[in-house]
Amino acid sequence: MDAPSETERSFRIDLAGTHDLDALAALEAVVFDPPWSPGQLAAALEAPPPGADAGPLTLVIRAGDALAGYALFQRVLDEAELLRLAIGPEHRRRGLGARLLEVGLARLAELGVVRCHLEVAASNQPAIGLYELFGFVPSGLRRGYYPDGDDALLMQRAAPPPGRHES
């Protein structure tokens, strides 16, 4: 068996809970402008009842007790949208974003999701590079969508057919 990677040894992925709200809000404020409000984040932490066909899926990746990053999806029937993905600046380029995305997409596939959508600033090469690694392809462009004039690139990914490994 392969030795565990540094990521597997030092980091842990969990479903986010309400106790993560303050840490999520703090990271959100560091990474995004404008950040989501605590109210928006709290809604993303409301776990849907078992068997629900829609609702948020929010995963966090922890380094010890500290929150290193999070991924926030919204699922509706067999489709989902990645609304937020963030890794704290001090934890980047160590595979954590990829790990979160891998675990999130696998969880969504278990829930029956066959297509995932996202929107990303066209200038955000780090994120676009990561999404391409997971098979996301461009599906549209909203010119001048962001307040700074940047375009929004729309991307989507069809889940691999059953029996094939995610990513």
* Catalytic machinery residues: 119, 131
What tokens were used for 130? 């990561």
Q: Which residues pair with 73 in a beta bridge?
A: 57, 82
Q: Are 16 and 60 in contact (CB under 8 A)?
A: yes
Q: Which is nearer to ligand COA, 51 or 129 (CB)?
A: 129
SS3 call for 159: coil
Q: How far is CA 47 from the centre of its chain?
A: 16
Least distance CB 123 / ligand COA (angstroms): 10
**Site residues (CB under 6 A) for ligand COA?**
31, 84-87, 92-98, 120, 124-127, 129-130, 133
Q: Which residues pair with 155 in a beta bridge?
A: 118, 138
Q: Which is nearer to ligand COA, 25 or 31 (CB)?
A: 31
State the DSSP H helix or E strand holding residue 87, giving kind and residue range, or none if neither. Answer: strand 79-87
Least distance CB 163 / ligand COA (angstroms): 26
Q: Which is nearer to ligand COA, 35 or 97 (CB)?
A: 97
